[in-house]
Structure 1
Amino acid sequence: MKVEGRVSKVWENGRVSLYLPWLDYPVTLDAEDIDEVVKAPKEPRARNRRKPLYDKPT
């Protein structure tokens, strides 16, 4: 079964805590319960707009 979530902490003993989209609290799993961890692609940075989106009325 494939489950996607956001990793919140990696413990010293190898356990991993992660947030699942449908739960409000983290779930901690042992290292042997996890087959693969893939780093998510970076989201594009927000552009800093110096100009207003509209012209000022004259």
Structure 2
Amino acid sequence: MPTFSEIVGPRGRAFGPAAGEVVGVSFNVAAVRQMRLVFTGNTGRPAAKLSGPRILAA
């Protein structure tokens, strides 16, 4: 089973119509083979969805 480290900590991020239904998260370069995304809440609405995640190389 893989071991995961936190690259970006939890914090409020604006998500909703005012933000164009998009959230961008930047982080420092990390050498990883797999990434696990954990959603803890949403500041703009009581629900969220993930559609087309993109993780781009620097």
> Do the structures match in fold with TM over 0.5?
no
Higher relative contact order (CA 8 A, sep 6+): 2
* TM-score normalised by structure 2 residue count: 0.21
TM-score if structure 1 supplies the norm length? 0.21
More strand by share: 1
